[in-house]
């Protein structure tokens, strides 16, 4: 599997995957992201006001990719994003998911699960 940095030209492909999955499309590609061609992409979202914290998020996989390929791609993408974060001085990364399969995979990759259950709240501004 070949991994590379995402570019703005990936927006249409990632949004096509997101649209097929019925999840909101992105308006832009975040500056720090990686993609495994035809399989999946993910992004590191540093929290600049808290320099040792970053969000690993906006994972999107190709709905037509095989589950084995997607699982392996997620492992590779998370590993790369963790390495980038560490080089930036980040010491804690987090992600959010309500899907039990993703939570189990994250725990196998060394993430811990918060015992508190919470709701993810969002609001579109200017709408």
Domains of the chain listed by start with CATH number: 3-108 (3.40.630.30)
pTM of the model: 0.88
Q: How far is 110 from 2, CA to CA, in rounded Å?
A: 24
**Mean pLDDT, range 40-56, rounded to an integer:** 92
* pLDDT tens sequence across 68-119: 999 999 999 999 999 999 999 999 998 888 778 888 888 898 988 887 777 7
The set of residues, in sequence order, having a beta carbon less than 8 Å from that of 59 and lying 6+ positions away, is: 40, 41, 42, 74, 77
Cβ-proximal residues to 82 (8 Å cutoff; 6+ apart), any chain: 56, 93
Query: Is pLDDT of 22 > 90?
Result: yes
What is the C-alpha R_g of the chain? 15
């Amino acid at each position: 599997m070949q991994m590379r940095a995402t570019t703005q030209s990936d927006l249409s492909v990632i949004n096509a995957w997101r649209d097929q999955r019925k999840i909101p499309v992105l308006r832009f590609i975040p500056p720090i992201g990686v993609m495994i061609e035809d399989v999946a992409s993910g992004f590191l979202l540093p929290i600049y006001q808290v320099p040792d914290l970053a969000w690993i998020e906006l994972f999107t996989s190709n709905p037509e990719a095989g589950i084995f390929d997607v699982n392996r791609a997620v492992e590779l993408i998370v590993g790369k994003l963790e390495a980038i974060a560490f080089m930036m001085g980040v010491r804690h990364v987090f992600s959010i998911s309500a899907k039990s399969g993703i939570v189990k995979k994250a725990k196998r990759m060394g993430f811990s699960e918060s015992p508190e259950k919470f709701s993810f709240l969002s609001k579109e501004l200017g709408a």
